[in-house]
Amino acid sequence: MNHATTLAALHAALAEIHNPMQHVDVLNRLVAELRLVDHEQAWALNHQAEGLARMAGDDGKPYTQGLIDCFYWRSKLLFSEQSYHQALTYLFRASKLCQLTPPRQPNPHWLDILDTSFQSASLGSEDSDAFLASGIHSAAVHNALGVLLIVLGNYTEALQYLQRAKRDAIQLNDQWFEALVCNNLGFLHCELQSPEIALNDLAHGLRLLEAMTQFPAHLRMRAEILDNSGRAACALKQFEQAVSYGEQALALYHEIDWQHGQAECHNNLGLAYAGLDQQNQAIEHFMQAYELACGSNNIHEAIEALIRHGVLLNRIKHYQAARVILEQALISVNPTINQQKVYRAHQALADTYEALGDFKASLKHYKAYYELKDTVFNEQSVRRMQVLQTMYRLDEARNQAALYHLQNDDLHQQLADIQQINVQLAEWAKTDSLTEILNRRGLYEQIDLALQHQQTDAQGWAWIMFDIDFFKAINDSYGHDSGDEVLRGIAQRARLVLRHSDVFGRYGGEEFLVFLPHTSMQEAIVIAERLRMAIANTPYVVKQTAVNVTISLGIAWTEQVDDPERLTQLADQALYRSKAAGRNCYTVERLDAPVSQLSA
């Protein structure tokens, strides 16, 4: 049965049905069918369904399942209008109503009236909602909440709702929705830079799909899971596996003729081939991604293709072509919606113009990049920290539940083990996994602790911010694994020259921060110069090649600390001036009386 015939059957059913609850069910299904083809009529029927559902139950009481369905499809209508917060409100209402009904597979009476071929028509769609013809359940509601919260950038609550949706799907024995939720969890963990966890979720989703009849919706879901698996494999630098995942996904997207998915898949394949140093194939995939994204009005994926293409052209030293493509990306992106893409475009253009010898343009883009980078990095760090806390709480709750059932002889040992794990988790949350020094959260905790008992100090307080000069060139020339080795080496050398009382950590990317308590300005300069020489005087061995590495430093000094964040910003500004002055030097800024000093 095609879409038109399905609509005709639903409208005919309305004329035959006299039971109010069955009437609500048919209205809700009509909204589901019409939402993508007749938005206005879908809205009208949705309001009609709600009005009837509020009194369609026994003894004139509300029909709970009908209201759940109504609010779910209303959230879909609002989502298509980008009214995300309103959509969230109705999904929360649906979630509360789900708590009033026992977990079950809905089976409304009106399906008996329709021809059984109606369900096969629904399953002929590649839409993931195709399997909700018989009503909305809690797994669908909580999955939709998770997806919407991802769009809104609230990754902590998104993770909670997706995990809840997975539990609901298992309880309902709905393997389709369990696979769908696994895909969304995999995508979220990729966003959170946890590719190992992502691959576990995605592999489980694929196993569930293998046992199902392959309708178009299954094919699309399998393609999405493979595409996300390729993305996770790229993050783990398993580029050959990423290509395999991507090619399988692309074949499935072609089979169901879904251009949106094809564009995303080409973008991910471009990254995988770039990782294999097969630049021509990578460029071809980026160009196809851009063409398909424009054809399907997918602005997000089109801009992503331009930025990735431009970065790759920089890497292979085609700077003029990179300039044109990256400028196009910067013009196309909406800075109020996606700051991360703006930040990445400015960073790449700064490198492009520097290579072209246009230092004025390069500095302009470096300045824009530095102004945005803290905002972008802070958003990512907060999200990752919140998720760590969420997972920590979930693990702790599970451990406590398990403890309740332990025998008395084992109780104390198990409790001690869990407490030790919790201590390790807390330390891990404050430590940078690559360099094994403090991360940004750990830095701020240690600085706040040092300043809690701050007294007037004649010596003063200093911040040193430094980053690696031309670090991107190291990654491009020798690979990201070599770049990671340089970061670890710099952290080790810095620790050797810093004092025991100094607080040192990785601020983000290739940027490091040192907090110097009870330190005069002259002492801070001496320590900064010691750091600079420790890094610059001995080359690093990268893939059997001696590579000279230098750093640029910014020093902020004050007699009394009123605002630690202001000192960090001042050190960052001083670092920017060192970059502008030619790199491999330091700049000093004094908070209470501006004084600038440069040292080559």
User: What is the rounded CA–CA span in Å between residue 447 and residue 515?
Assistant: 7
Asked whether 314 and 355 are in contact (CB, 8 A), the reply is yes
If one counts every other C-beta atom within 10 angstroms of the C-beta of residue 442, the result is 18
Asked whether 115 and 1 are in contact (CB, 8 A), the reply is yes
Which three-class secondary structure string do you get for 505-525? EEEECCEEEEEECCCCHHHHH
If one counts every other C-beta atom within 10 angstroms of the C-beta of residue 352, the result is 27
Residues with catalytic roles? 510
Which three-class secondary structure string do you get for 105-166? CCCCHHHHCCCCHHHHHHHCCCCHHHHHCCCCCHHHHHHHHHHHHHHCCCHHHHHHHHHHHH
In the sheet that 597-599 helps form, which strands lie side by side, from edge to edge? 503-508, 511-516, 461-468, 551-558, 586-590, 597-599
User: What is the rounded CA–CA span in Å between residue 195 and residue 417?
Assistant: 27
User: What is the rounded CA–CA span in Å between residue 583 and residue 581?
Assistant: 6
Asked whether 72 and 140 are in contact (CB, 8 A), the reply is yes
Whose tokens are 């110069």? That residue is 529
Asked whether 577 and 558 are in contact (CB, 8 A), the reply is no
Asked whether 326 and 306 are in contact (CB, 8 A), the reply is yes
Structure tokens at 253: 């997207």
Asked whether 586 and 578 are in contact (CB, 8 A), the reply is yes
User: What is the rounded CA–CA span in Å between residue 32 and residue 14?
Assistant: 15
Q: What is the DSSP letter of 431?
A: B
Instruction: From 299, 294, 177, select the one nearest 185 (Cα to Cα).
Output: 177
Write the CA distances from 122 to 23, 107, 456, 476, integer angstroms. Answer: 19, 16, 73, 49
